[in-house]
Amino acid sequence: MQKKLFSRVEFEQHLSKKAAEQFVDSNLSDKALEAFVGADKHDWIHQTRWFGEPALQTAEDMLVMQDILFRTKPDFFIEVGTAWSGSLLMYATIMEALNFGHIIGIDIYIPEDLIERINSFENLSKRITLIKGSSLDAETIKRIDSIVGDASNISVHLDSDHSHEHVLQELKKYSKYVSKGNYLICGDTVVEDIPEQSHRPRPWGVGNNPKTAMIEFLNHHHESFGFTIDKNIRNRLLLSNQKEGYLLKNE
């Protein structure tokens, strides 16, 4: 007897149910976090590359970004904190394949040799604009405003300085760009859930990080109106830098 296959709708319903079950499986979550913490001692996250450039994201998070880009097809995707720009090249690859969108990458340090390597991908580099400067500087915001103009289909990924106050100010300043159905992604919320990493000292840690800033933003600041944690994304992630950081604009 031939087994009846799920319809696509039934399959999505099944996946949603299983993801919700996965999220409340504390034993599985604890094991995943233990693996995450152990692997971080070996710079595991930094090993992920796109077209040769480090992306500094877990493979799961990169697939989520792909899913967000595919579903929302933004006019602009703003990434604050680009590092080696592997993630920018991935976004540009998807945009070029599907013929939509432009990326704005912001960082205080953008090496000339990196610019040369990005420009070597002619079909991709035309979709990337790099801005060198602090994400909170008035000149940086002014430059972004001049680029996006009156575009209304924009998502943002915040992944620079991870201290509470810096991220909080970014959330407040960059939330204005995000329209209904798009995302304000608060990167590296996992910092709140892992022990202090002595192998890579940072000025942020438990009690002072993107997750604490995100919680304050959602609970106490008017700029957060309409934003909620996307539970569909959160539930299906195990090894993620920011499983609770995908904020969906609902209204």
Instruction: Determine which helix (DSSP H) or strand (DSSP E) holds 145, and give its type and residue range.
Output: helix 138-148
Q: Which of 25-34, 121-130, 165-174, 200-209 has the lowest mean pLDDT?
A: 200-209
Is the pLDDT higher at 204 or at 110?
110
Asked whether residue 115 is domain-assigned, the answer is: yes
Q: In this predicted model, what pLDDT tens digit does every residue of 37-52 receive, in sequence order?
A: 999 999 999 999 999 9
| Three-state SS annotation for 14-78 | HHHHHHHHHHCCHHHHHHHHHHHHHHHCCCCHHHCEECCEECCCCHHHHHHHHHHHHHHCCCEEE
pLDDT in tens, 82-103: 999 999 999 999 999 999 999 9
Query: Is the predicted pLDDT of residue 127 greater than 70, yes or no?
Result: yes
Q: With a cut of 80, say whether residue 4 has pLDDT above it.
A: no
Please report, for residues 99, 149, 159, 185, the alpha-carbon distance to residue 170 in angstroms, rounded to integers and kept in the order given.
29, 19, 10, 11
Chain-wide mean pLDDT for the chain? 95
Tally of domains within the chain: 1
The answer as to whether 1 is a domain residue is: no
Q: Which domain holds residue 13?
A: 8-249
Render pLDDT for 179-197 as a digit per residue (tens, 0 to 9). Answer: 999 999 999 999 999 987 7
The pLDDT of residue 171 is above 90:
yes
Establish if 2 belongs to a structural domain. Answer: no
What integer pLDDT is reported at residue 54 of this predicted model? 96
Asked whether the predicted pLDDT for residue 1 surpasses 60, the reply is no
pLDDT for the residue 202: 79
Instruction: Please check whether residue 202 is in contact with residue 21, taking contact to mean a CB–CB distance below 8 angstroms.
Output: no
Segment 7-31 mean pLDDT: 97
Residue 14 lies in a domain: yes
Q: Residue 205 has what pLDDT? A: 87
Decide if 114 is inside a domain. Answer: yes
Provide the percentage of residues in the chain whose pLDDT is more than 90.
Answer: 92
Residue 2 reports pLDDT greater than 70:
no
Please, which residues have CB within 8 angstroms of residue 19's CB and are 6 or more apart in sequence?
Answer: 232, 235, 236
Model confidence pLDDT, tens digit, residues 201-243: 778 889 999 999 999 999 999 989 999 999 999 999 999 999 9
CATH number for the domain that contains residue 201: 3.40.50.150
**Would 3 be classed as within a structural domain?**
no
Residue 220: inside a domain, yes or no?
yes
